[in-house]
């Protein structure tokens, strides 16, 4: 039997939950109870900023370890200062533990020149066990129309769109955009606050509740289709994980309805291969002055 090494082998074997790039880059080293060291990877940056959903996944992993319940149900994060690749520490606090839900608080800090901790994000989250949800479906939301995967546009369909400051994160994601929301990539933004695409991790790892925290913030922002040039930093982001995702690619739909007064909200919905709503979020983001 010939043993294959190298790129061909790596491409042939899909990563599984636990040994994927995503898991390596969100790994934590316990320091003391409730305190975890982390390394923010430069691989998850866009426009020079560490992706907010990647940061949420790191914090989510910490609280999943610190709290009695394993899965994030609702996570509400306030982004205080911009994170950058490099060392970080996460400090958690158990706030309340109940029978089916527990609530915790977590902060991510980095270090300034003299080693002082600077808080980047503070969040509250309520955790439960997604495997213990009642099976009943009273009124399920239905996904919006998406073109089939083959008709959507991905990395192989054209040059990397010119995103100022780079887009390292795109190497780790397999995103295929609905052509109706890809005009920005060829200099023709639609003017509508919409972004839709198929989503999976580039190394094939299946989705799970932690990767859903990344997923709601991983698509190009609706700001691109609104013709907004420049970074729209996230002020606050609340995510609800509604169901454990089935294996297979996800569909993500972003919507912005109210861009006014210097802020916009961006709503995300994530649908799995069984057409179920697995995650939903809203973030409030600040628009650049003078757009």
* Least distance from a copy of itself to the Cβ atom of residue 93, Å: 10
Query: How many residues bind to a copy of itself according to rule CB under 8 A?
Result: 55
Residue 2: count of CB within 10 angstroms of its CB: 3
* Least distance from a copy of itself to the Cβ atom of residue 5, Å: 44
CA 120, CA 148: separation in Å to the nearest integer? 39
What separation, in Å, do the N-terminal and C-terminal C-alpha atoms of the chain show? 61
Q: Is residue 275 close enough to count as binding a copy of itself by CB under 8 A?
A: no
Q: Is residue 260 close enough to count as binding a copy of itself by CB under 8 A?
A: yes
Q: Is residue 74 close enough to count as binding a copy of itself by CB under 8 A?
A: yes
Nearer to a copy of itself, 212 or 287 (CB): 287
The two structure tokens encoding residue 220 = 């190009």
The pattern of x and - marking residues 220 through 259 that bind a copy of itself according to CB under 8 A reads ------x-x------xx-x-x-xx------------xxxx
Q: Is residue 50 close enough to count as binding a copy of itself by CB under 8 A?
A: no
Q: Is residue 116 close enough to count as binding a copy of itself by CB under 8 A?
A: no
Which stretch, 17-25, 43-51, 77-85, 197-205, contacts a copy of itself (CB under 8 A)?
Answer: 77-85
CA angle 36, 41, 44 (to 5 degrees): 120
Helix H or strand E segment including 4: none
Among 39, 78, 143, 155, binds a copy of itself (CB under 8 A): 78
At residue 265, the 3 state secondary structure works out as strand
**Cα torsion 177, 180, 186, 192: sign:** negative
Q: Is residue 288 close enough to count as binding a copy of itself by CB under 8 A?
A: no
The pattern of x and - marking residues 86 through 105 that bind a copy of itself according to CB under 8 A reads ---------xx----x-x-x
* Least distance from a copy of itself to the Cβ atom of residue 156, Å: 32
The two structure tokens encoding residue 164 = 């100022």
**Are 196 and 181 in contact, with CB atoms under 8 Å apart?**
yes
Helix H or strand E segment including 257: none
Nearer to a copy of itself, 108 or 175 (CB): 108
CA 235, CA 225: separation in Å to the nearest integer? 20
Nearer to a copy of itself, 37 or 274 (CB): 274
Helix H or strand E segment including 213: helix 209-215
Among 37, 119, 171, 274, binds a copy of itself (CB under 8 A): 119
- Rounded alpha-carbon distances, angstroms, from residue 51 to 35, 128, 216, 232: 22, 25, 11, 12
Q: Where does residue 48 rank: exposed (0-12), middle (13-18), buried (19+ CB within 10 A)? A: middle
* Least distance from a copy of itself to the Cβ atom of residue 109, Å: 12
Q: Which residues bind a copy of itself (CB under 8 A)?
A: 73-74, 76-78, 80-81, 95-96, 101, 103, 105, 119, 122-126, 133-141, 191, 193, 226, 228, 235-236, 238, 240, 242-243, 256-265, 276-277, 280, 282, 284, 287, 289, 291
């Amino acid at each position: 039997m010939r043993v294959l090494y190298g790129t061909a082998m790596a491409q042939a074997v899909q990563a599984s939950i636990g040994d994927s790039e995503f898991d390596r880059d969100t790994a934590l080293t316990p320091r003391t109870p409730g305190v975890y060291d982390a390394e923010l990877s430069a691989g998850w940056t866009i426009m020079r900023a560490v992706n907010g959903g990647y940061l949420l996944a790191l914090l989510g992993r910490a609280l999943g370890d610190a709290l009695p319940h394993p899965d994030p149900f609702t996570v509400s994060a306030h982004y205080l200062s911009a994170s950058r690749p490099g060392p970080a520490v996460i400090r958690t606090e158990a706030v309340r533990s109940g029978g089916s839900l527990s609530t915790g608080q977590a902060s991510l800090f980095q270090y300034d020149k003299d080693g002082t901790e600077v808080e980047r994000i503070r969040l509250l989250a309520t955790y439960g066990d997604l495997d213990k949800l009642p099976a009943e479906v009273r009124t399920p939301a239905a996904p919006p129309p998406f073109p089939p995967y083959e008709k959507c546009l991905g990395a192989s369909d054209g040059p990397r769109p010119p995103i100022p400051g780079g887009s390292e994160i795109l190497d780790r994601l397999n995103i295929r955009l609905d052509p109706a929301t890809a005009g920005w990539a060829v200099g023709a933004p639609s003017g509508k606050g919409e972004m839709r695409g198929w989503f999976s991790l580039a190394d094939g790892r299946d989705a799970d509740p932690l990767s859903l925290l990344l997923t709601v913030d991983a698509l190009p922002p609706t700001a691109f289709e609104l013709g907004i040039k420049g970074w729209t930093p996230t002020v606050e982001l609340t995510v609800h994980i509604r169901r454990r995702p089935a294996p297979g690619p996800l569909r993500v739909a972003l919507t912005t309805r109210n861009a006014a007064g210097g802020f916009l909200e961006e709503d995300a919905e994530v649908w799995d291969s069984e057409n179920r709503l697995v995650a939903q979020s809203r973030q409030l983001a600040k628009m650049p002055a003078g757009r």
